[in-house]
């Protein structure tokens, strides 16, 4: 079996410790990290966002070491600027209108094209790259893995508030991001050439200037031999990030194993998968999703347990059983959204929710 290398990117909030509002880091965190983190720390479109990304990791143990190290490092860099680092899909009450855009030609072009949709896109996600052998395998993976995206998304939901309001969603981040074009569940592609022809048509007709402007929940990366999961909210704890990444890697390995045994995973319509994604955004782990095989509603938590059974025969080969089984802890304590809402209902104070986010972001470090 291939190594299925990992790369993990996390987008953090930079927060004023006194007001608990988002506050621009003016690229000082990025510049301060050039010596120790080099290209692993980056500015994002809004100045209150800082992204860190691991190097290529050959197993989940390496990924754990890097993710924990990067969180510690970026928190230390923020402390030097009198800032705190938070991990959640949205900030509970800061307004996007108050957050400056990072000066950069690339971001200027995005704002010029997308206008208010870009300026209001003050959201924070977690992306996971899994290495693949070639682009044909990648397209095959993309077609099959779409089915599991709502399951993974439900586990990651961590954005119940938007501009000081309880939204009623466990992930409102995804509703904000859907304003962008070329987002959501990808369609079906017959082959890598079919996919590449689609990209070239978009480039030729001026829709995009490169493949990175495909912002689907799962995409074949345009420049690297990876399949990239993009659906998840930024999660509170590093342990949660590692758990989800381990499950994503195991799903790739399982689908690959089935293919090598000439067993194909059934492909479902994007429209059906979107129904489950909506349910995950609205209810997180506490609702039902559709079991398309049975054609009936099933509790989301039950489907998560079935997912664990599905990947059980590959996790030991990957050395990730411990990390994968942390999902049981996640289901017991609730998603980040569940825990944020619990703090708010106990205190009625969104500043206390921010304090909780900050504490959870540092958990275990």
Helix (H, G, I), strand (E, B) or coil at 54: coil
Q: What is the pLDDT of residue 192?
A: 92
- Which segments within the chain are labelled E, that is strand? 6-15, 41-43, 49-53, 84-86, 125-131, 161-162, 165-166, 183-184, 215-216, 218-220, 226-233, 288-291, 296-299
Q: Would you say residue 320 lies in a domain?
A: yes
Domain count, the chain: 1
Q: What is the pLDDT of residue 319?
A: 97
CA 60, 62, 66, 68 torsion-angle sign: positive
Give the number of C-alpha atoms closer than 13 A to the C-alpha of residue 178, restricted to the C-beta side: 12
Q: Would you say residue 202 lies in a domain?
A: yes
Q: Would you say residue 1 lies in a domain?
A: no
Beta-bridge mates of residue 45: none
Q: Count the neighbouring beta carbons within 10 Å of the beta carbon of residue 184.
A: 20
Q: What is the pLDDT of residue 122?
A: 95
Q: What is the pLDDT of residue 108?
A: 87
For the chain, helix (H) and strand (E) counts, in that order, are 14, 13
Residue-level pLDDT, tens digit, the chain, 365 residues: 888 999 999 999 999 999 999 998 877 888 877 767 777 888 788 889 999 999 999 999 999 999 999 999 999 999 999 999 999 999 999 999 999 888 888 888 889 999 999 899 999 999 999 999 899 999 999 999 999 999 999 999 999 999 999 999 999 999 999 999 999 999 999 999 999 999 999 999 999 988 889 999 999 988 889 999 999 999 999 999 999 999 999 999 999 999 999 998 889 999 999 999 999 999 999 999 999 888 999 999 999 999 999 999 999 999 999 999 999 999 999 999 999 999 999 999 999 999 999 999 999 99
Helix (H, G, I), strand (E, B) or coil at 233: strand
Q: With contact defined as beta carbons under 8 Å apart, do 150 and 280 qualify?
A: yes
Q: With contact defined as beta carbons under 8 Å apart, do 203 and 210 qualify?
A: yes
Q: What is the pLDDT of residue 34?
A: 73
Helix (H, G, I), strand (E, B) or coil at 51: strand
Question: How far apart (Å, rounded) are the C-alpha atoms in residues 302 and 131?
Answer: 29
Q: What is the CATH number of the domain that holds 308?
A: 3.30.590.20
287: left (phi over 0), alpha (psi -120 to 50) or beta: beta
Q: What is the pLDDT of residue 32?
A: 79
- Its domain, for residue 293, covers 6-361
Q: What is the pLDDT of residue 176?
A: 95
Nearest to 123 by CA among 160, 168, 79: 160
pLDDT, tens digit, for every residue of 122-163? 999 999 999 998 999 999 999 999 999 999 999 999 999 999
């Amino acid at each position: 079996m291939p190594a299925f290398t990992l790369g993990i990117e996390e987008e953090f909030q930079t927060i004023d410790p006194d007001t608990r509002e988002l506050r621009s880091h003016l690229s000082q965190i990025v510049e301060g990290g050039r010596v120790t983190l080099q290209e692993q720390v980056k500015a994002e479109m809004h100045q209150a966002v800082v992204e860190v990304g691991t190097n290529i990791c050959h197993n989940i143990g390496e990924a754990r070491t890097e993710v924990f190290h990067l969180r510690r490092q970026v928190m230390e860099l923020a402390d030097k600027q009198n800032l705190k680092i938070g991990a959640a899909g949205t900030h509970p009450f800061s307004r996007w209108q108050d957050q400056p855009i990072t000066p950069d030609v690339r971001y200027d072009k995005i704002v010029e094209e997308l206008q208010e949709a870009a300026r209001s896109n003050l959201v924070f996600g977690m992306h996971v790259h899994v290495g693949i052998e070639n682009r044909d395998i990648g397209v095959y993976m993309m077609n099959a893995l779409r089915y599991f995206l709502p399951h993974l998304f439900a586990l990651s939901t961590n954005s119940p508030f938007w501009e000081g309001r309880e939204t009623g969603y466990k992930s409102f981040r995804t509703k904000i991001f859907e304003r962008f074009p070329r987002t959501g569940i990808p369609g079906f592609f017959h082959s890598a050439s079919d996919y590449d022809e689609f990209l070239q048509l978009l480039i030729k007709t001026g829709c995009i200037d490169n493949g990175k402007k495909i912002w689907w929940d799962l995409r074949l990366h345009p420049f690297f031999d990876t399949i990239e999961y993009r659906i998840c909210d930024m999660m509170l704890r590093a342990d949660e990030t590692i758990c989800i990444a381990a499950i994503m890697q195991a799903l790739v390995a399982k689908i690959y194993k089935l293919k090598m045994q000439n067993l194909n995973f059934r492909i479902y319509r994007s429209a059906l998968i979107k129904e489950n994604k909506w349910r995950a955004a609205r209810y997180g782990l506490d609702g039902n999703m559709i079991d398309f095989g049975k054609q009936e509603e099933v509790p989301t938590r039950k489907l998560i347990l079935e997912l664990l059974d599905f990947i059980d025969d590959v996790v030991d080969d990957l050395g990730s059983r411990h990390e994968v089984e942390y999902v049981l802890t996640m289901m017991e304590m609730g998603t980040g959204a569940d825990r944020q809402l619990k703090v708010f209902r106990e205190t009625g104070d969104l500043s206390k929710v921010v304090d909780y986010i900050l504490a959870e972001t540092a958990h275990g470090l």
